[in-house]
Structure 1
Amino acid sequence: MKLIFKILKGIGVLLIIYQFVSWMAMGIIYKEGKEQPMSDVQGFVVDDKGNIIIGDGFYQIIQVYDKEGRFVTGWQPKTYGGSFQLFLGENGTIIIEPSRSAETLYYNLNGVAITNKEIKIATNNLSNQKHYTLKGGMFFPKISKEENGHTKVVVAQNLLQNLLKAPFPFLGIGAFLLLFFGAQETMKKIKEFEKKNTEK
């Protein structure tokens, strides 16, 4: 039993270390316009040309892929570090509503801010993406498309990107393992101490 406790505590430590290493690694590796691992996807939209625009809440970025799933560009909107909603506006404008600001943000496909505040959400905002589905959750998110009765994965990331990203549940799982099994050992020591005092 002690060996199992040690192994699980070790796993907890490794998960926490992995979490922080991945955060630091992405801070060093990531450059504007380069593809970044997807984690905590806030949503996605598909424009009239089939471009897939994905909003990532964890890294606070927007990533654009063409209709074949090839990465086009990526950029960071001004979301103040919070969650956000993503919509497709008229003429392919990307509309972002941050949870930490009352300001609605407007960008073109390349991440250039648009000052025209009269742009409305496109009537085809949802119709373009009705054949697309986000699957894989936080750990291995991917976007699939239903086409001619078949499901095709359009956007998926490679193994390195999946390993480098920081799915923050790892931090919680690691902390839980450390606290739970640490508490178990503490309780065991207390009982042993009480038993010795009782015997005396």
Structure 2
Amino acid sequence: MTLRLLSAFVALAFCSAQAEDHRLESLLLLPEPKIMRNSLSFFPEGAELTVLTPAKELKETPWVMPYRPDEFKQLGLSVETFAERAKKAADKRLATLKPELIKNAEGQVAYAVYRSDQPLMASLLVAPSLPAIFEKLFGDEIWVALPDRHSLFVFPARPEAIEEFAADLEQRYLSDTRAASPEIFAIKKGGVPKVVASFLE
């Protein structure tokens, strides 16, 4: 076997091993419209239009699926325990990601966004470390919007910071078959997401 062929073989084997190492996430809190809720779903603090539902990642479309009550029972966990573990899992995913920073005409960061083809971004809402990541940019409180499962927007905690983008957020929410939430969540370091507004007119 030539050196070139040997190198290609090793690279292929490494890629295959990496693919096998990827574990599907079984601890997700999926934000979704309340009309989609099931018996395991619960409302975040202050929410009227959004629920968090225990869910798992799939290998194929739709990529994320809420647990059926009978499946969830087999986990041997309460919803509260599942939620705490899902927060830790979200923190681990968040630590591997970098947000895109969007600047205004003055060169200041107007907002940040996490995007992905995979529908796990909205579930980062519950990651405890999320506010700390943006503390230097936006202060000790952030406002978060998640119109669909593929994106999570982070803004400074000011109404005017979101007003310019409200129409775009609304369009994303209304046009996506995998919508997440029409509500705006405030999060402080050490706190939990709390709904403060909605971008729906």
Question: Which category describes the TM-score, using the shorter chain as reference length?
Answer: 0.3 to 0.5
Q: TM-score, normalised by structure 2?
A: 0.34
Indicate the structure (1 or 2) with the bigger Cα radius of gyration.
1
Q: TM-score, normalised by structure 1?
A: 0.34
